[in-house]
Structure 1
């Protein structure tokens, strides 16, 4: 059987350290021979990372335009019937059996994707509808967790997204939310793997997630300038209370990093995020010397 599977890796500027670790972890977990390896880059990254991955094709957006635009520009270049979706910030603790899941997608043409869960084993809340052995309807909807996708269905969803209203009233719409509703309307199934007795994957870059603005379908036309929170707007008293919690957390981390490499790495990421945030604020406020 022709493999008919491409590997598509999504990254953006400033995340080379995450991508290197993800690629090393993925190679240990998966020795599958892909038809095609595509690296999609939003912004400018160190070319040495490309040399490590050695992709067949690079979709390079030198001017950063967001994750949704990067996906849209990449999907049309996938030559295989299926593709493995890999973002730049995951670790793998399980062997990836692509032929097995490819065969299931072939057997079930209404399945849009089969993805790995970062939770394991799954609780009853995730196992409300069984689709196959250790496979369940994903109650959270469409996901860009590492997993095998059916190219034609995902491409169809993104084409529908381009033609859809980009706002729900005054509310921003995330692309995963849009695809969840779109696929549900067509009875397309999004499938979640139960790792049964262990953790299959870990979201290593959860502390360095890109702003939600880049994940909104409105970014296909124009990025929303206001930062979008993942939770309701906090009150001023809650913001003051956050200062106290930060002091306690940082003091604890500062002491623990003296003897714990994992905590040191966490501290390194926090400092890196703080520097990146300050640089972004200077550019946004027009006070960055590089803009003069």
Structure 2
């Protein structure tokens, strides 16, 4: 790979110098050996610096990849839940619309039922009945002028009492509809409460799944940080635990041509 080319070049130079150093030692050309040894030390320092720089870059890329993965999964999670909540709102609105429509139809039927079934038959008052009797007596005895006057009063009283009766019946119907609407209001409030309870349950589930997602990435970050710290300590020769030695000996080249990149372990861990 391109990123390994500088390291590979230094490794090849080191290999060449080491071979040359062995030959010069055999020839007992110690001054030349000393010069080559200094070059080897300088190359090893350069190699270590490049290894550390590459390790830092690799670790930074791993962190970026993890954060991008977290942002992507969080975005997908939020979009999915936004769609679920929106679909639930639409479902609730459909139920409310159907409930309103049915109530409107039931209200018309209830008005018709009340108007047709209320046991309210117009009955003349005692005063009106008495005026009718007086008018009939006046006719019998031939007092037609008096009968006419009574007839006019009877008609006027009858219109008044019929209008009053109609108003009373209308009030009774409206009161019946008020009671009907009150029952409807209770039902609609109960329906809205059920809708809200369902929404609350969805929100609880959404928060719970989001918590699981966050915890998942917190664990991944922690594992990645621990792995990167071990790698860094190994490479700097600071790590002496069994776990550190298990990963790699500090004397070995971290990015040799035969080794995999440090991101491979993280990716395998993340994929699992």
Task: Provide the TM-score with structure 1 as the length reference.
Answer: 0.17
Structure ranking higher in strand proportion: 1
Structure ranking higher in helix proportion: 2
Q: Which has the higher contact order (CA 8 A, sep 6+)?
A: 2
Larger radius of gyration: 2
Task: Provide the TM-score with structure 2 as the length reference.
Answer: 0.17
